[in-house]
Chains A and B, each alone.
Chain A
Amino acid sequence: MSTPASTAKRSGSAAVAAGPTAAERLTSLMPVLALAVLVVALAAADPDFLRRSSLMAVVDAAAPLAVLAAGATLVVLCGGIDLSIAALASLSSVLLALWLPGLDALAWPAVVAVAAVAGALQGAAHVFLRIPSFIVTLGGMSVFSSIALVVSGAATVPVVDDTSIRWGFSRVLGTVPSAAVVAVVVVAVLALIVKVTPLDSSIKATGYSEAAARLAGIPVDLVKIGAFCVSGACAGLAAVLLVARTFSGGPTLADSLLLPAVAAIVIGGTAITGGHGGVWRTVVGALVVTLLRVGLSIVGVSAAYESILYGAIIVVAVALTLDRSKVLVVK
């Protein structure tokens, strides 16, 4: 065996590779590849799947999940996690159903605002009390669930007049589900704001290395509270989409979306340890999760098995994307 590149080391930094390696590129394309494979597989299993109506149905079903998960993605990028999103969306759905008769067109902005405040409060608790976000939002999840039960009287709240939120469940140009348009617009706005402002490096630096970010003068606390605030607002907006399609708000309406949302984030390739990832990736993740669910029913697997799938997906996706150099001791 000869010794290749034996002089490379001497020249020091000049020898380092410039960009990501082929393997890294492949890993980063993995979510899109997974999506493509799923589409092909489903089309093979059921040729009807490629019809426009069924494709649109999938996109429509994925929209609330994508909105919910996109907000939480920002929290994950900052190195935290928001486990309260589903419970907060349930609570928001109840509030929306209760407020629609009185506030009418102002009801949904009010709900989104309340959810944003709820998120910001959790962020503030996490930052100022120095409690892990995991614990804060686990507590938040429990609190929001309970409030939802109390204010709804533990029952579904029907919506009689849904005129002011009908935009959340209709068709654009006759075919495209409006919920999907809402999801794309929300994600695009979030992505654009992050991309064109210094927020991009602030969020990433916070997620990769909070200590370094703080010592570079980045307002780490504000960035994190902001991320939780957006996460809350997205939960509120997801609730609006859900109420628009079910004509009701329910204290557990969105609860089952927590695992799929976390799955969407990690399948998209956002690192659970923070720093690496993005909101568009989560949209891909949400589509993959939705397709898997659709696929199970096409193949004829009972819906009772779904949670097994989500649980396994989360573990596998994190196993594939985890930056182990950053996690010294796994707890």
Chain B
Amino acid sequence: MTSKTATFSFGDRLARWLHLAFCAAVFVFLIAPMLVVIPLSFNAEPYFTFSEGMLALDADAYSLRWYRSVVEDEEWRLALTNSLFIGLAAAAIATILGVLAALGLASPAMPGRALVTGLLISPMITPIIISAAGMFFFYSNLGLSQTHLSLILAHAALGTPFVVITVTATLAGFDRNLTRAAASLGAGPFAAFRRIQLPLIAPGVIAGALFAFAASFDEVVTVLFLGGLEQRTIPRQMWAGIREQISPEILAVATFLVAFVLVLLGVVEYLRKRGGQSPVGQ
């Protein structure tokens, strides 16, 4: 190995270092803005910059005051409640619709599979501002604008493609003979689904549900169009916070969100690994 490295020319080594430097730069630009938020959220001063005390690692320069003020603030509490409520409801609807759609698409008797898949996935590809504007007019005519229901329905539409994709992927490895076996053993379609198919595709279903929840949880554009004061979600509240009162409270919330998303990703990854081990993946 060493002898081989020694034969590399100067140009080779330069290219190698440039390559590494480029990769490092990509990581810094992608991740640093997220990481820098975390220490700043513990700032004792009401600024978005590192104070001299923080840089000197002085314990007094750090505090939990912004976390406390977020927790004590009515508006943030309402935003969190809204986010969780809308996110869970939207994820539930998206999961049911997405699983049903994926089951239908996996059937060999499905006509126009490519077209239907495209239509179902389209909310992922359509620019969100277009969907949001369309929904704004549509829901206004139905008298649904500025209601929680409108946001739940909008987010369910945006989250369904995630469920369709993850469940379709899981179903691709599902042995159809298992469903046939269940039928031959006397199980009706619903019993066969609930006791045989659903437990085996559960990793895909849960992953899809988490993605759908996350899609709703960090969504701000449709909330801007469809939501009123009562429907403010966490992202919407942060948006307002940045525009109206610049307070490090936002940094505390952002840190919380980063931690939350990391946990979600961890769960998805765990399910993916476990799904790979089960015979579903074979």
- Please determine whether chains A and B interact with each other in the same assembly: no
